[in-house]
Each structure stands twice: as structure tokens, then as C-alpha cells.
């Protein structure tokens, strides 16, 4: 029996680095997907093959710390599945292929984890819900891979809908579709992959999360996203104050963007996207020269707004453009990279797509 599942990457429209502070986020699933094909094999081990990285053999019972490189995302999903369901994973051949660029801030890791988990669920007959799979994928990322992520990526990968963003209240995990009808408004959202790769497990991501936790503790709050701007005066440490200032203002921006999209005013969200980038670059210090170049070039070319998306330190930016101007904006950002002596970015229009699914659905 062959089981095939695919799962999308994602773009976070707004709400960056606040999912682990209890704040709301607004991602959408991309029309770029990771596909996983499972087949039973006589040997007891797991043979995992990637179109980009080759083949490795894994134990059917991998343990945290025992697998490195790209295969740890597959191994983490296997480990978390077995731990959550109590089901032993049989010997399998697992083939992974993907159009989601790795390290681009578009959640290639969650796409792999969710596609593997969906395929394992079907193969083993465990009847997990989509939310179950998202929760197990978060455990894989946190406890096996070692990235202290929030739940945003895995939830939108599993629950994304066509032409919609997904408002996620990360504290309660309540989700709600928000219309993202950019075409109807004559708009295009460009993704600019800087091709500068980052590794969120290298400590910088955890440092930001730790700073937010310390700021919340100083303010006597369970969740830093509950803070007000006035309360930030109680943070004597200027670093913690800057980190917290990003969180508080980003929470407001998410609510404002949701309100505009619901009222059919998608054109008006551009200034909020740009404000988000300035906050991420200044208060949160997670941008990079390449991301700043992408944002500045698109704005200079007439984009309505632009910002980095994802964990930062490289990866991708997004730019909201009037559709007739999108090709010129893309050309201008490529020219700006060349003028700055940077490698060429990859630029394409993003479409809000459906979440993970079996091949037959």
C-alpha cells in the first residue's frame, strides 16, 4: 500500500514573533507544497529519501538528539507520532519532495512534519484530527528538533483555506478564517526569497523568546502580549523594553489588519506591513541587510507596504502591490540586489491555498 500526503508552506501576513508570547497571528497557507510518499518495507528500519538531500536510514524509534540534518524533521514526526498515539511505526520507505524552499522563512519544516504525520496517521489508522496532527507536529519541532516555536506554522499548514488567512489566537488556539481576496481588490502579494538561509535552532530565536519571557516576568504578566505601552515604562532594561515594544505594537497591528480585511479594505493594510518590518528590524533586531534591501526597494518601486516574514536573519520578505505594478516591483527589487552586490532573489506572487491533505482528497 502506498500513502501520499502533501502539506503547504506558509506566509505570515502579520504577527511576527508574537505566537510564543500569547499574541494573535495571521498566516496563510501557500500554494507551494511538500509531498510525502510512504510504502511498507520488509526491513524494520525507516529509509528516508529526499529529492534534494539524498537517502538516510533511521531507526523506527528515533530519539531526540540522535538525528541531525534535514532528516531530523522526519524523525521528529515519527517520534512524536509514536509517543502521542502509542503506536509502533512499521518499517517504511519515506520519500520526500518539495517546492517549498528550505530556510526561506516559509515553514518548510512544518510542511515536512505535517505531511509525514498525515501519512503516518493514514497508514496506521489512528484517525487523528487536523488539530491533533498540528499539536503533534509542534511537539516534534520543540522537543525533537529543538526549536522553541509557537503553534502558528503547524496550525495554518493543517487548517489553511483557499483565499483566506487564518487568524490564530495562540493562547486559546481558536482559529478563524479571514478573507484574503487580494485579486478582487486588484492586488498582488509578492514573496521575495533573499536566498539567505537561516537556522532557527542556532540560538537567536530562543534568545528572543527568553527575552520576552523575562519581560513578562518583570511586569508580572503570564503573557507579554497582555502588556500595554504604558506598562513598558516598568522595564528598566532597554533591551527588554525594545523586545516588548515590538510585541505590544505587533499585537495591535494584527487586529488592525484583520479589521481592514474583513471590511474589504485590503489596500489599506500596506502601511501596517511596513510598520511591522520597521519594528522587527529596530526593536526586535531580526532583519538582515538583504531583507532590508528587499523592503526598501519594493517600497521605492511603489509597493503599498512590505516587510520581512518568518523568523528573520534571512529568508523572505513580502510586498503588497497593485497588480499592474507587480512585475515592475519585482524587477526593481532584483536590480536593487544586483546594485548592492547581493545574489539574485527569487520573486513570485503568493496565493492563499488549502492546508495539508491526502493525495486522494
In the structure grid, which three cell numbers stand for residue 281, read together? Answer: 528590524
pLDDT of residue 201: 44
Gap between the Cα atoms of 152 and 309, Å rounded: 13
Gap between the Cα atoms of 261 and 182, Å rounded: 9
Task: Give the tens place of pLDDT for each residue, 228-267.
Answer: 999 999 999 999 999 999 999 999 999 999 999 999 999 9
Residues 295, 276 contacting (CB under 8 angstroms)? no
- In this structure, the number of other CB atoms found within 10 A of the CB of residue 39 comes to 15
Give the residue-averaged pLDDT of 199-212: 79
On the question of pLDDT at 119 being above 50, the answer is yes
pLDDT of residue 199: 59
312 versus 8: the higher-pLDDT residue is 8
Contacts of 20 (CB under 8 A, 6+ apart): 148, 149, 150, 170, 209, 212
As a whole-number percent, the residues of the chain with pLDDT over 70 amount to 98
pLDDT of residue 360: 60
pLDDT-derived band at 361 (thresholds 50, 70, 90) equals very low
Give the residue-averaged pLDDT of 206-231: 96
pLDDT-derived band at 102 (thresholds 50, 70, 90) equals confident
Judging by DSSP bridges, how do beta strands 46-50 and 92-98 pair with one another?
parallel
**Residue in 212, 200, 155 with CA at minimum distance from that of residue 26:** 155
Gap between the Cα atoms of 175 and 129, Å rounded: 15
Kindly give the interhelix angle for 270-282 and 238-262, rounded to the nearest 10 degrees.
170
Task: Give the tens place of pLDDT for each residue, 297-343.
Answer: 999 999 999 999 988 888 999 999 999 999 999 999 999 999 999 99
pLDDT of residue 148: 80
Residues 207, 328 contacting (CB under 8 angstroms)? no
In the structure grid, which three cell numbers stand for residue 134, read together? Answer: 498540528
On the question of pLDDT at 197 being above 80, the answer is no
What's the angle, vertex CA 164, arms to CA 279 and CA 173, rounded to 5? 70
Gap between the Cα atoms of 135 and 150, Å rounded: 10
Q: Which residues pair with 25 in a beta bridge?
A: 168
Residues 273, 297 contacting (CB under 8 angstroms)? no
CA 22, 27, 29, 33 dihedral sign is: negative
pLDDT-derived band at 150 (thresholds 50, 70, 90) equals confident
Give the residue-averaged pLDDT of 178-194: 96
Q: Which residues pair with 190 in a beta bridge?
A: 319, 349
Task: Give the tens place of pLDDT for each residue, 287-299.
Answer: 999 999 999 999 9
Give the residue-averaged pLDDT of 210-237: 97
Give the residue-averaged pLDDT of 65-80: 92
Among 153, 163, 222, 346, the active-site one is 153
Element (H, E) at 4: strand 2-14
CA 50, 56, 58, 63 dihedral sign is: negative
* 0.85 surpassed by pTM: yes
Give the residue-averaged pLDDT of 272-281: 98
Task: Give the tens place of pLDDT for each residue, 17-33.
Answer: 999 999 999 999 999 99
The DSSP letter of residue 145 is: I
| Mean residue pLDDT across the chain | 94
**Catalytic site includes residue 153:** yes
Q: Which residues pair with 27 in a beta bridge?
A: 12
Please give, one letter per residue, the 3-state secondary structure of 73-135. HHHHHHHHHHHHHCCCCCCEEEEEEECCCCCCCCCHHHHHHHHHHHHHHHHHCCCCCHHHHHH
Tally the residues of the chain: 361
Amino acid at each position: 500500500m502506498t500513502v501520499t500526503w502533501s502539506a503547504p508552506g506558509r506566509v505570515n501576513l502579520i504577527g511576527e514573533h508574537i505566537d510564543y508570547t500569547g499574541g494573535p497571528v495571521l498566516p496563510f497557507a501557500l500554494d507551494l507544497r511538500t509531498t510525502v510518499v510512504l510504502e511498507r518495507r520488509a526491513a524494520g528500519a525507516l529509509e528516508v529519501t529526499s529529492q534534494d538531500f539524498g537517502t538516510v536510514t533511521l531507526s523506527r524509534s528515533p530519539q531526540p538528539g540522535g538525528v541531525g540534518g534535514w532528516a531530523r524533521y522526519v524523525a521528529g514526526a515519527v517520534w512524536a507520532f509514536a509517543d502521542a498515539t502509542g503506536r509502533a511505526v512499521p518499517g517504511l520507505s519515506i520519500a520526500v519532495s518539495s517546492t517549498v524552499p528550505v530556510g526561506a522563512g516559509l515553514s518548510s519544516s512544518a510542511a515536512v512534519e505535517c505531511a509525514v504525520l498525515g501519512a503516518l496517521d493514514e497508514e496506521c489508522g489512528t484517525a487523528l484530527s487536523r488539530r491533533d496532527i498540528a499539536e503533534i507536529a509542534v511537539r516534534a519541532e520543540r522537543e525533537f528538533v529543538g526549536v522553541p516555536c509557537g503553534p502558528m506554522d503547524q496550525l495554518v499548514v493543517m487548517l489553511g483555506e483557499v483565499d483566506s488567512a487564518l487568524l490564530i489566537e495562540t493562547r486559546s488556539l481558536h482559529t478563524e478564517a479571514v478573507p484574503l481576496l487580494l485579486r478582487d481588490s486588484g492586488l498582488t502579494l509578492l514573496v521575495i526569497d533573499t536566498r539567505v538561509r537561516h537556522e532557527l535552532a542556532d540560538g537567536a530565536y530562543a534568545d528572543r523568546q527568553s527575552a520576552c519571557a523575562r519581560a513578562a516576568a518583570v511586569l508580572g504578566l503570564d503573557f507579554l502580549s497582555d502588556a500595554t505601552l504604558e506598562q513598558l515604562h516598568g522595564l528598566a532594561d532597554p533591551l527588554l523594553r525594545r523586545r516588548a515594544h515590538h510585541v505590544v505594537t505587533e499585537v495591535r497591528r494584527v487586529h488592525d489588519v484583520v479589521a481592514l480585511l474583513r471590511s474589504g479594505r485590503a489596500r489599506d493594510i500596506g502601511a501596517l506591513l511596513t510598520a511591522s518590518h520597521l519594528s522587527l528590524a529596530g526593536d526586535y533586531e531580526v532583519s538582515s541587510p538583504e531583507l532590508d534591501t528587499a523592503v526598501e526597494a519594493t517600497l521605492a518601486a511603489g509597493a503599498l507596504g512590505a516587510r520581512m516574514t518568518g523568523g528573520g536573519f534571512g529568508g523572505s520578505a513580502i510586498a503588497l502591490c497593485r497588480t499592474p505594478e507587480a512585475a515592475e516591483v519585482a524587477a526593481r527589487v532584483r536590480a536593487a540586489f544586483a546594485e548592492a552586490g547581493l545574489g539574485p532573489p527569487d520573486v513570485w506572487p503568493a496565493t492563499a491555498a488549502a492546508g495539508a491533505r491526502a493525495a486522494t482528497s
